[in-house]
Amino acid sequence: MNIIEIKDLVKIYDSTEIEVTAVNHINLNFEKGEFSAVVGPSGSGKTTFLNLLGGLDRPTAGHIMIDGIDLWSLKPRQITDFRLHNIGFVFQSYNLLPVLTAKENVEFIMDLQGWPKAEREKRAKELLEAVGLGDRIHSRPGKLSGGQQQRVAVARALASKPKFILADEPTANLDSHSTENLLDIMEKLNREEGITFIFSTHDARVVKKAHRVITLEDGKVLSDEKK
Amino acid sequence: MNITVIAWRNIWRNKRRTLITTASIFFGVIFAAVMSSMQEGSYSKMIDNVVKFYSGYLQIQLEDYWENKTINNTFVLTDTLLQKVHQSKEITGISPRLESFALASSDQLTKGAVIIGIDPERENKITNPEKWIIRGRYIHHGDQGVIMGNELAGYLHLDVGDTLVLLGMGYHGVNAAGKYPITGIFKNPLPQFNKTFVYMDLPLAQGLYSAPNRITSLVLMVKDHYHMPPARKALKSFIRTPYRLMSWDEMQPELVQMIASDRMGGKIMKAILYIIIAFGILGTVIMMFSERKRELGVMVSIGMQKTLLAGILFMETFYIGLLGVATGILATIPITTWFYHHPIRIAGEAAKAFLDMGVEPVFAFSLMPSVFYNQALTVFILIIIITIYPVVKTFRLDISNALRT
């Protein structure tokens, strides 16, 4: 069952003197429970593609249907709300809120969703334990290593019970040990809880673990291979 | 996670910058509040000088008296009028007066003087001339003597026990002349009183001017100048032709103008100060926004509405303002309280200049709540204006651009 349907997606940047087509007529579908990697050289349009998919950037043309809803037919407020309830994000630079502890960072998104305090505290602890940070719940991001911060970011992305998680080069700033650790956690969550992950990556280790690899070049889908 | 907690923690991410910005507000509030306290205290002192040394807060006169102050513009104080005035609960003191001019003479010398016939007991409750007596004694009801200013007495080479000769024009043009023993010499803080004023019992003055039972004004006192407007409103409901109700500010337009122009000068100074502070806060706010653009983008991308984000940014600026204002006011209270109880007395030439204006040479301070809350109000208005910048920037935030910064 398709969770995401992308139809003729185009993104053209014309802010500079030269018009750049970052995403060029992409048609793709993603099923629930996929563990997919979007790969390609720098400038191939991976990040732009993920931004469009996450409702962070408006496409020049085309449609993104998520569970039958045309994402970009929604008003800006509704798109933000849609992201809150349907999409989880993991960023390359972790992007945790530095003034909040690991637990508070995970709770934050549930707070936005209006969860009762006791329930969100319980879930935040469970998620942090699931990513192996049960003993660091009161640490602020500045006191955590890069790998630990990225695991908090994964816990945060999972907290809102999203339909899928978009991870933009999640291992780019991690050492090999942290990368292996993070990938194991995400693969386990995908396998055991059926969570859909879509990565953009350069990292061969991520590609190796992915069940589907979509290669982009000059904004176009060069290949789409399922393992 | 409450946005107020996030905002509070955010301002302490750069402690030094927050402390510097808070300090600029802190010192600005101290300066502005102390300056306002001194201004308002000095204005109150000036008004007190006028009201409590002479005019009272309100006077009932004949309609034409203020423009043409002659003994012919007098009226007989009726019981009906007096009863109605008494019914006004704001009025705390009533004193009838008969005022006119006369030549005051001793053996060789003569000088123009203001003669004021008073009810000695009632007048004491309003302007309290008894406390100014420096030699001799105050007059009482039925006394045939007078009290006079020390400078006038000095000019005429008179003292307690000597005789003062008064010569003027009485009611309807009759001669007004009399000899009066001096029972006391007074010294008022304002020199013009000492140079010209002679007080006597009201019936004695009415006899001098051949104006039995007549008065030029009924002087009224209220608790303080906050009680004057309701008292004026109550009295105006029944004061009709041929009477007129005059308030101190109508009787002293020059003082009102002087206060207004001085207050405007103070406002301009405070405005300049607050504009400088505002730019300091704005600088901090711009930096706080610019250096966290990516973080703000992340917050919106994970599902925070921009309105809520704008709320956090507003709260951050609000907290900085609140800290500056609260600490500034807390520091100002002991300073102004000290000077309220120990006003700065001016000496030398500066004092003379004050006295020439008819003002006691004192820098008095006020503890009026408005002195303090006006500063808080000003800072918070500035904060609301300043936060327009981050709020507008937040609503214009392009998430994908912000994430790339």
Q: How confident is the model at residue B356 (pLDDT cuts 50, 70, 90)?
A: confident
In this predicted structure, what is the pLDDT of residue A223? 93
Q: Distance between CA B64 and CA B174 in Å, rounded? A: 21
Mean pLDDT of B15-27: 95
A57/B304 touch (CB, cutoff 8 Å), yes or no: no
Q: Cα B117 vs. chain centroid, distance in angstroms?
A: 28
* Tens digits of residue pLDDT in B226-238: 788 899 999 998 8
Which of A121, A125, A130, A103 is closest to A189 using CA atoms? A130
Q: Where are the beta strands (DSSP E) in B119-174?
A: 133-136, 146-149, 163-169
Region for residue B100 given its phi and psi (left: phi exceeds 0; alpha: psi -120 to 50; beta: otherwise): beta
In this predicted structure, what is the pLDDT of residue B60? 95
Q: Show me where the domains of chain B are located.
A: 3-50+255-404, 58-221
**Of A10-19, A102-111, B57-66, B395-404, minimum mean pLDDT range:** A10-19
In this predicted structure, what is the pLDDT of residue A50? 94
Distance to chain B for A219, nearest Cα, Å = 17
Mean pLDDT of B328-342: 96
A81/B303 touch (CB, cutoff 8 Å), yes or no: yes
Q: Please give the angle made by the CA atoms of A119, A121 and A124, to the nearest 5 degrees.
A: 105
In this predicted structure, what is the pLDDT of residue A160? 87
In this predicted structure, what is the pLDDT of residue B400? 84
Q: Residue B72: what residue type?
A: N
ipTM of the complex: 0.90
Q: b/e map of A91-105 (b: 16 or more CB within 10 Å)? A: bbbbbbbebbbbbbb
CA distances from A119 to A113, A139, B120 (A): 12, 20, 81
B303 touches chain A (CB under 8 A): yes
Average pLDDT of the residues of chain A: 91
Chain B residues within an 8 Å CB radius of A91: 298, 403
What is the chain B residue with the closest CA to A59? B400
Q: How confident is the model at residue A15 (pLDDT cuts 50, 70, 90)?
A: low
* Tens digits of residue pLDDT in A104-141: 999 999 999 999 999 999 999 999 998 888 899 999 99
* Six-digit token string for A109: 């998104």
In this predicted structure, what is the pLDDT of residue A64? 95
Q: Which residues contact A4 (CB under 8 A, 6 or more apart)?
A: A28, A29, A30, A53, A64, A65, A66, A164
Q: Show me where the domains of chain A are located.
A: 2-226
Q: Distance between CA B308 and CA B311 in Å, rounded? A: 5
Q: Cα A138 vs. chain centroid, distance in angstroms?
A: 24
* Six-digit token string for B146: 């007078």
CATH number, domain A2-226? 3.40.50.300
Quickly count: other Cβ atoms within 10 Å of residue A20's Cβ.
14
CA distances from B57 to A207, B223, B225 (A): 90, 9, 7
A103 touches chain B (CB under 8 A): no
Chain A residues within an 8 Å CB radius of B295: 95, 97-98
In this predicted structure, what is the pLDDT of residue B61? 95
Distance to chain A for B304, nearest Cα, Å = 7
B125 touches chain A (CB under 8 A): no
User: B214-215 and B58-62 as β-strands: parallel, antiparallel, unpaired?
Assistant: unpaired
B3 touches chain A (CB under 8 A): no
Least CB-CB distance to A54: which of B13, B294, B301?
Answer: B301
- CA torsion A74-A80-A81-A86 (nearest 10°) is 90
In this predicted structure, what is the pLDDT of residue A94? 87
* Tens digits of residue pLDDT in B165-200: 999 999 988 999 999 999 999 998 878 889 999 999
A69 touches chain B (CB under 8 A): no
Which of B250, B147, B130, B246 is closest to B194 using CA atoms? B147
Q: Determine which of B8, B12, B301 to mutate to test the interface with A (most A C-beta atoms within 10 Å).
A: B301
Q: Distance between CA B402 and CA B405 in Å, rounded? A: 5
In this predicted structure, what is the pLDDT of residue A16? 63
For chain B, positions 56-115, list CB contacts with chain A under 8 A. none
Q: Which residues contact B30 (CB under 8 A, 6 or more apart)?
A: B328, B331, B332, B335
* Six-digit token string for A196: 């859909």
Top mean-pLDDT range of A126-130, A170-174, B375-379:
B375-379
* Six-digit token string for B201: 């019992």
Residue A149 has φ and ψ, to the nearest 5°, of -60, -40
CB B3 within 8 A of CB A93: no
Nearest-10 crossing angle of helices B253-290, B293-301 = 70
- Report the percentage of chain B scoring pLDDT > 90: 74
Asked if residue B181 has a cis previous peptide bond (ω within 30° of 0), the answer is no
* Tens digits of residue pLDDT in B240-259: 888 999 999 999 888 899 89
In this predicted structure, what is the pLDDT of residue A130? 86
